[in-house]
Amino acid sequence: MKDIFKGLITDFQERTLSGIVPREYDIPSDSDKIISLIGVRRCGKTYILFDLISRLRETIQSENIIYINFEDDRLFPIQLKDLDALMDGYYEMYPDKRSETVYVFLDEVQNIPEWERYVRRIYDTLNARIFVTGSSSKLLSKEIATSLRGRTLTYEIFPYSFVDFLKAKKINVNINSSASVSHIRNALNEFLTDGSFPETLAKTADIKRRILRDYLDLIVYKDIVERYGVKNNSLLKHIIKYSFCNIATLASFTKLYNDFKSQGYKVSKDAVFDYYSYLEDAYAVFSVPIFRNNIREETRNPKKIYSVDNGFKGVFDAFVTDDFGKLYENAVFLHLRRRTPEVYYYGGKQEVDFYSRIDGRQILVNVSYKIDNQSTREREINGLSEAMEFFKMGEAYLITESHEEVISLENGKQIFVVPLWKWLLQKI
């Protein structure tokens, strides 16, 4: 194993890194904490590491950088005891580096059971800055919370944001230029219907769907079936299809259980909840609770389902463009969720799509594709007005396709009506 590690280390040090799109994440390269990047498979974690490595190569020797991808077949089947060969092999090649800071990048490290024991030991005993990535939220967060407590900074990574998406497509952003806005709005349609996984960007619509199906297979079989020993694959696939076809809708998992039973599935209520939680653990889907000051009340109400990428809806729904409202709402959710896990919906006389807290600020957002209809406009405004009163806020957002205005209410309150493309370019 030591010779394999030596070869992998050397090969990477000689490799020229290309195709890197700098992302919106502000990840430090000089922290004295272990940097952990977690998120759904294929969302770009590796290229974020490559971006960090490229910037490091500008100031330090390439020999001070170690990068290992634990999905490399040459390492299979690797176990915890084999990891000692990594740094032993490195210091055999570069004995003088023991007195220097070494940057260690461990990609998809969750493939090794109890990997965190090794990471903690080299962090405590060597002069090393350590970066790890993984594709399972529960795996990493649980182990980081116990074994790496106080030693780590964790960053959640998602597929491209709209800003990243435009950057990757080399679209200039100038909201004062009609030509630029035309390109931005055209790109938004692709972003909404096809999603924003980095690998899919330059592909045809058919190839994009095939790639996304492959991603789902990876998530299902690597992150769920193998890890949890799932036996009822047909139920799991049904839950996956249900989740992605019903994004931005309220889901009662008790009702879902009853539906499955009526269709002849032999299933327990616990299995439905467990299988859905596995999808959440793998960062494929998210459930948003109603906002309540009481957690018990929160759990009694149905949650809203959202997808980690808009493109997954199109894998199962051939008529995905028939409901742009749901695609808009999912995009708005992701824009908020990239910044904070504190995302809720508000249920008063009128439902408000999102209430969120970011860096101590409160944000209220409703999403309505069109507000040309007077009753629709009044419903959206009344809902936001009620929620602003409840949360004691002075402003809120209403996200639309193209309409833009500022609506002034009583007591100086304001609703900013903003087109989705423009709102997605804002740093909220």
Give dist(CA 345, CA 81) in Å, integer: 47
Whether 280 maps to a domain, the answer reads no
Tokens of 171: 């679209």
Average pLDDT over residues 345-369: 96
- Rounded to the nearest 10 degrees, what angle do helices 137-147 and 115-125 cross at? 40
pLDDT digits (tens, 9 = 90+) for 95-110: 999 999 999 999 999 8
- Summarised one tens digit per residue, pLDDT across range 293-331 is 877 777 788 999 999 999 999 998 866 666 889 999 999
Of the pLDDT bands very low, low, confident and very high (cuts 50, 70, 90), residue 254 is confident
Q: Could you give the C-alpha distances from 207 to 199, 213, 222, 301, in angstroms and in order?
A: 10, 10, 22, 39
How confident is the model over 272-297, as pLDDT tens digits? 999 999 999 899 999 999 998 877 77
pLDDT mean over 119-129: 96
Rg of the chain, C-alpha, whole Å: 23
Q: Is 251 inside a domain boundary?
A: no
The SS3 call for residue 373 is coil
Residue 92 belongs to a domain: yes
Q: Is residue 253 part of a domain?
A: no
Which has more confidence, 294 or 216? Answer: 216
- The model's confidence at residue 16, banded by pLDDT at 50, 70 and 90, is very high
Region for residue 243 given its phi and psi (left: phi exceeds 0; alpha: psi -120 to 50; beta: otherwise): alpha
Q: Name residue, tokens 């390492």.
A: 75
pLDDT of 143 higher than 80: no
Q: In Å, how far from its chain's centre is CA 27?
A: 16
Dist. CA 219–CA 238, nearest whole Å: 15
Structure confidence by residue, pLDDT tens digits, 219-230: 888 889 988 899
Q: Residue 210's closest CA among 188, 187, 233, 194?
A: 194
Mean pLDDT of the chain: 93
- Identify the residue with better confidence: 318 or 41: 41
Q: Span 411-422, mean pLDDT?
A: 96
Of 194, 191, 200, nearest to 421 by C-alpha is 191
pLDDT tens column, 125-135: 999 999 999 88
DSSP calls for 201-267: TTS-HHHHHHHHHHHHHHIIIIIIIHHHT---HHHHHHHHHHHHHTTTEEE-HHHHHHHHHHTT---
What average pLDDT score do residues 174-182 get? 96
pLDDT at 140 over 80: no
**Percent residues over pLDDT 70 in the chain:** 96
45 in a domain, yes or no? yes
* Higher local confidence (pLDDT), 319 or 66: 66
- The count of domains in the chain is 1
Q: Does 347 fall in a domain? A: no
Residue 418 dihedral angles phi and psi, to the nearest 5° = -135, 135
Report if residue 130 sits inside a domain: yes
At residue 138, the pLDDT reads 62
**Between 298 and 377, the higher pLDDT residue:** 377
**Residue 70 belongs to domain with CATH number:** 3.40.50.300
> Confidence class of residue 141 from pLDDT cuts 50, 70 and 90?
low
The reported pLDDT for the residue numbered 370 is 95
**Averaged pLDDT, 143-151:** 73
Q: How far is CA 280 from CA 138, 223, 240, in A?
A: 9, 11, 11
Domain-embedded: residue 125: yes
* Least confident stretch, 35-39, 157-161, 326-330: 35-39
The rounded percent of the chain whose pLDDT value lies above 90 is 78
Provide the residue range defining the domain that includes 115. 2-157
pLDDT on residue 145? 60
